[in-house]
């Protein structure tokens, strides 16, 4: 069936005119209509726009144009501004916001001829690890609809796993691409900070947020990153550096590649999860890679460091949502202060309020040095640990999450327990490093992820290592029952 084909296979059929983009789009829209009610993946569907874009892609193909993404449907996380389409960030605060322009990521993918099927559900303002904080209700994991898909990009991950689209965009602030990718059995790539433009991506934490991609294979992710990556003068955090040919790098042999085992990632890891990582290491050594143990002594500080830095930045960034210019506004305010209080009180959910209050506290006079300044010093030590490790190895490897997907509602009332789900992913964000999660097996019938992290701008090496593993295994080909 068309929905089981990878991007490269679909592109080949489209180029040879064996299928049309309109045919592919209609097929996926039909699946979405049938399967989405059980998953709650979408906030907004755009079928008319999708069919129009598909027809335009078919015209380009008929004229002899080719491209790896031309005519390929996708889903955007609802954090990316999309011209003329609601961009809610999963929040009541922006439930009525129609974006007046396209984010750079959206514009580049549109220019490549992709077809937007709709906007994916997400944790409110990307704050969450389970996709349960959305104003539009929780997303459900297609592997088991009583489980969470992970967050904050849970809608994008679940849609990709359920074969509702070949790929989807996401954002990763503390693991919000890699963690849900692991819990839903897909490939999730977080590029180097600054590799992909943040222009038009609604901000949570400016020094941590990074756009990335969900796909079903590393080769698919490489094709998408090729289009997304590159300098953007409208984004002050964008890096002006050449973009390599990620797809061409996928054939590089792994002989001599040095992979570091992160000692801290294996301490206290559940034995079945550890066994999956050991099995993956056996595959890599069989492919010619070398393994050695490395340590990041300050990595255990990553969770408390992140949950000082990220809330501090969010408290500043979200101050603009005050009910005055756009977004939710309370009814019949008595005065300006009442407008501010009730608009923000009604517009934001509990987790967003919690992080705003935490961030405001750590930035306040008398506490800045005690919390925020110390957190930034710890961040520097974590970054230095990674730099030291990469003097010895090319990549580091470990689990993406400590456990498989947990039950809906199991941790929503215990914020600290929820935050610990990101313990293996946060370090890469604090250091601005690229990371990828790929499926590596199952525990209790639920997928688990293998995480690879590399030095800055090592996406080509990461994707090749992930691709070589997927060539030797078939975990990435498994589909949830009922979604094959």
Residue with tokens 């490790």: 389
| Burial profile 21-59: b = 16 or more Cβ within 10 angstroms, e = fewer | bbbbbbebbebbeebbeebbbbbbbbeebbbebbeebbe
Which one of 91, 152, 219, 437 is the catalytic residue? 152
Has 77 been annotated as catalytic? yes
Best CA proximity match to 379, nearest among 208, 195, 141, 215: 208
Pairwise CA distance, residues 374 & 243, whole Å: 35
- What is the full DSSP assignment across 87-105? --TTSGGGTT-B-SS--HH
Pairwise CA distance, residues 371 & 383, whole Å: 18
Tokens of 270: 């559940």
Radius of gyration of the chain (CA): 21
Using DSSP, state whether 221 is helix, strand or coil.
helix
CB 247 within 8 A of CB 219: yes
- What is the full DSSP assignment across 137-204? ----BTTBTTB---SSSHHHHHHHHTTSSSEEEEE-SSSTTHHHHHHHTSEEEEPPTTTB--TTBPPS
CB 154 within 8 A of CB 77: no
Has 152 been annotated as catalytic? yes
CB 310 within 8 A of CB 94: no
Element (H, E) at 443: strand 435-443
Pairwise CA distance, residues 124 & 355, whole Å: 12
Pairwise CA distance, residues 283 & 164, whole Å: 30
Which one of 77, 140, 147, 190 is the catalytic residue? 77
Identify any residues that bridge with 169 across adjacent strands, giving them in sequence order: 213
Which one of 20, 129, 176, 238 is the catalytic residue? 176
Half-sphere exposure of 256 (CA within 13 A, CB side): 2
Has 20 been annotated as catalytic? no
Q: Which residues are catalytic?
A: 77, 152, 176
């Amino acid at each position: 069936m068309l929905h089981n084909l990878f991007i490269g296979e679909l592109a080949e059929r489209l180029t040879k005119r064996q299928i049309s983009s309109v045919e592919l789009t209609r097929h996926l829209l039909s699946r979405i209509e049938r399967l989405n009610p059980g998953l709650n993946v979408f906030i907004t569907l755009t079928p008319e726009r999708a069919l129009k874009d598909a027809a335009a892609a078919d015209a380009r193909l008929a004229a002899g144009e080719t491209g790896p993404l031309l005519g390929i449907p996708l889903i955007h996380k609802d954090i990316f501004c999309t011209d003329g389409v609601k961009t809610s960030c999963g929040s009541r605060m922006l439930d009525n916001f129609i974006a007046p322009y396209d984010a750079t990521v959206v514009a580049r993918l549109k220019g490549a001829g992709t077809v937007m099927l709709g906007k994916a559900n997400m944790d409110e303002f990307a704050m969450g690890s389970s996709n349960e904080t959305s104003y539009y209700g929780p997303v459900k994991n297609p592997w088991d609809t009583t489980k969470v898909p992970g967050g904050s990009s849970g809608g994008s991950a679940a849609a990709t796993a359920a074969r509702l689209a070949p790929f989807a965009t996401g954002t990763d602030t503390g693991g919000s691409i890699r963690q849900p990718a692991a819990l839903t059995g897909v490939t999730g790539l977080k590029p180097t900070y600054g590799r992909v433009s943040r222009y038009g991506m609604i901000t949570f934490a400016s020094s941590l947020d990074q756009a990335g991609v969900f796909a079903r294979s590393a080769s698919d992710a490489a094709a998408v990153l090729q289009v997304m990556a590159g300098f953007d003068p409208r984004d002050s955090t964008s890096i002006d550096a050449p973009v390599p040919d990620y797809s061409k790098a996928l054939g590089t042999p792994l002989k001599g590649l040095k992979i570091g085992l992160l000692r801290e990632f294996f301490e206290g890891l559940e034995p079945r999860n550890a066994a999956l990582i050991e099995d993956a290491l056996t595959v890599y050594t069989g492919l010619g890679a070398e393994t050695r143990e490395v340590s990041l002594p300050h990595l255990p500080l990553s969770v408390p460091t992140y949950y000082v830095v990220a809330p501090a930045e969010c408290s500043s960034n979200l101050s603009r949502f005050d009910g005055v210019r756009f977004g939710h506004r309370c009814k019949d305010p008595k005065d300006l202060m009442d407008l501010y209080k009730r608009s923000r009180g009604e517009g934001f959910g509990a987790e967003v309020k919690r992080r705003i209050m935490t961030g405001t506290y750590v930035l306040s006079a008398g506490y800045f040095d005690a919390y925020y300044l110390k957190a930034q010093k710890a961040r520097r030590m974590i970054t230095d640990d990674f730099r030291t490790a990469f003097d010895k190895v090319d990549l580091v490897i470990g689990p993406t999450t400590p456990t498989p997907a947990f039950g809906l509602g199991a941790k929503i009332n215990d914020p600290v327990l929820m935050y610990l789900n990101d313990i293996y992913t946060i370090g890469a964000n604090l250091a601005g490093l690229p990371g990828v999660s790929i499926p590596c097996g199952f525990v209790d019938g639920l997928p688990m992820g293998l995480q690879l992290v590399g030095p800055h701008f090592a996406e080509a090496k990461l994707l090749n290592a992930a691709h070589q593993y997927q060539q030797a295994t078939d975990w990435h080909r498994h589909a949830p029952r009922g979604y094959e």
